[in-house]
Amino acid sequence: MHRPGGTIIPVIVSSDKTQLTLFRDKMAYLIYLTISNIPKDICRKPLRHAQILLGYIPTTKLDGMPSKASRRRALANLFHSCMHNVLGPISSIGETGLTMMSRDGVWCRCHPIFAVFVGDYPEQALVTCTFNGRCPKCLVPPGQLGEYELFPLRTQRSVIGSYLLADQDMHQFHRTCHEAQLKPIVHPFWATFPLADIFISITPDILHQMLQGVMKHLISWLVNIFGASTIDARCKSMPPNHKVLLFPKGIMILSRVTGLEHKKMCGILLGLIVNLPVPGGLDSSHVVKAVRALLDFLFLAQFQCHTSDTLSQLDNHLVAFHNNKAVFVDLSIRQNFHIPKLHSLLHYASSIRLFGTTDNYNTEQSKRLHINLAKKAFHATNRKDKYAQMTTWLE
């Protein structure tokens, strides 16, 4: 990496589970890879093949192990072992470089560097070896997840020494990991990557953190405040409109709500609660301000181009929500806001400054890839020894 003239290839990796059938517990665990040198308008289109399938991770549940704790540890170590086998060449090639020809026929010395990991919250916790209920990016205590306060960031340099103990004294290794509040994973796959920091590589996730996370919580809070019948009555009274999705039967009747449906709900959510009386005679303006702040944050976070002004507004909307969130406690809707997905909003602005807009690393893309690279491939098999047949079908 000290030789001038090299070309950096930032590697973007994502992993996610998907259900292959509707009525049986058939799952696939896929690993995808793309590079940030490709324009995002090409990466978004599955038929352009800008994202490739690296492999399938075993989906075994290890039912033969009697202890749940041992089973969880074994599954986490299995994941990192599989990822190490798949991404291991990055460790050596990233330093020495690999001769590759560009589109214009020029040969370059390329250095693939692990840059971004895309996944939902369970995947982020699994990859960073952190526990559920903790932030995978910073050292916030669990009891302060609901506060608007920045805490020291986790760094790979500070934890790598703990994982080196796995080759020496296992008792000391487990003790050190426990003190550092990390899972005792033997050789995490990212430990030997050059110029990588796994905690920085964790990126925002609009689909799971915002639409299926914070917004799902917010809708349930509003339903508890105003009542399901009142919210549904306002949905039914909305006139036809070409720009919004109507819910003629209300939103409470819906089950298995998709991210797209949550996104359409956000477009009408503020109009559903304006001028509604709050129980107990409390001032409804704080509820409206809190809802508007989160909606503004959501829409700004999805911008395809940002400036310093829009990022400043992003932080201002988050501050506005925290200034008005106490109304949900006053109405006995919440006792606290110790929600990891809500805390993750603090890291959006910094991640956008580092890696660009959120559509560069949204999990909606991997969800779409599941259709072509998992579901269609599975339906082409005879359900026996499916992975070998799926691989042959894809090739």
pLDDT at position 193, please?
92
pLDDT at position 2, please?
65
The model's pLDDT over 186-196, given as tens digits with 9 standing for 90+, comes to 999 999 998 89
Instruction: Output the DSSP codes for 333-368.
Output: S-S----HHHHGGGGHHHHHHHH--GGGS-THHHHH
Residue 241, pLDDT > 70, answer yes
Cα separation of 79 and 121, whole Å? Answer: 15
| C-beta of residue 302 within 8 angstroms of C-beta of residue 319 | no
Average pLDDT over residues 229-257: 87
Question: Among 182, 152, 137, which residue's Cα sits nearest to residue 345?
Answer: 137
Cα separation of 349 and 356, whole Å? Answer: 10
Stated as kind and residue range, the H or E segment containing 149 is none
Q: What sign does the dihedral 356-359-365-367 (CA atoms) show?
A: positive
pLDDT at position 24, please?
67
Structure tokens at 229: 């019948």
Instruction: Grade residue 102 by pLDDT with cuts at 50, 70 and 90.
Output: confident
Cα separation of 181 and 87, whole Å? Answer: 26
Structure tokens at 185: 């994973």
Residue 1, pLDDT > 60, answer no
Per-domain boundaries in the chain: 7-203+382-394, 206-360
The model's pLDDT over 303-314, given as tens digits with 9 standing for 90+, comes to 999 999 999 999
Residue 128, pLDDT > 90, answer yes
CA dihedral 319, 322, 324, 325 (to 10 degrees): 160
| C-beta of residue 6 within 8 angstroms of C-beta of residue 110 | yes
For 258, the 3-state DSSP assignment is coil
The neighbouring-strand residues paired with 118 are 14
Stated as kind and residue range, the H or E segment containing 298 is helix 285-301
Question: Among 326, 279, 274, which residue's Cα sits nearest to residue 295?
Answer: 274
**What are the φ/ψ torsions at residue 257 (nearest 5 degrees)?**
-70, 130
Average pLDDT over residues 17-31: 84
| Amino acid sitting at position 126 | L
Question: Among 269, 276, 331, 258, which residue's Cα sits nearest to residue 296?
Answer: 269
Task: For residue 132, give every residue at least 6 positions away whose Cβ sits within 8 Å of its Cβ, in sequence order, or none.
Answer: 122, 125, 340
Average pLDDT over residues 217-229: 93
What does each C-alpha distance from 109 to 5, 90, 97, 390 come to in angstroms? 8, 14, 6, 34
Structure tokens at 302: 């999805």
Cα separation of 160 and 303, whole Å? Answer: 36
Cα separation of 349 and 24, whole Å? Answer: 41
Average pLDDT over residues 379-393: 90
The model's pLDDT over 33-53, given as tens digits with 9 standing for 90+, comes to 999 989 888 988 888 889 999
pLDDT at position 45, please?
86
pLDDT at position 147, please?
93
What does each C-alpha distance from 21 to 15, 184, 383 come to in angstroms? 19, 34, 11
Structure tokens at 104: 């214009």
Instruction: Grade residue 244 by pLDDT with cuts at 50, 70 and 90.
Output: confident
Structure tokens at 181: 């509040």
Largest separation between any pair of C-alpha atoms in the chain: 72
pLDDT at position 77, please?
94
Average pLDDT over residues 130-155: 94
- Tell me how many degrees the CA angle 148-150-153 measures, rounded to the nearest 5: 145
What does each C-alpha distance from 153 to 102, 147, 207, 312 come to in angstroms? 37, 16, 24, 20
| C-beta of residue 334 within 8 angstroms of C-beta of residue 288 | no
**Mean pLDDT score across all residues of the chain:** 91
pLDDT at position 212, please?
93
Least confident of 1-10, 133-142, 356-365, 371-380: 1-10
pLDDT at position 240, please?
84
Average pLDDT over residues 283-310: 94
pLDDT at position 105, please?
87
Does this model's pTM top 0.75? My answer is yes
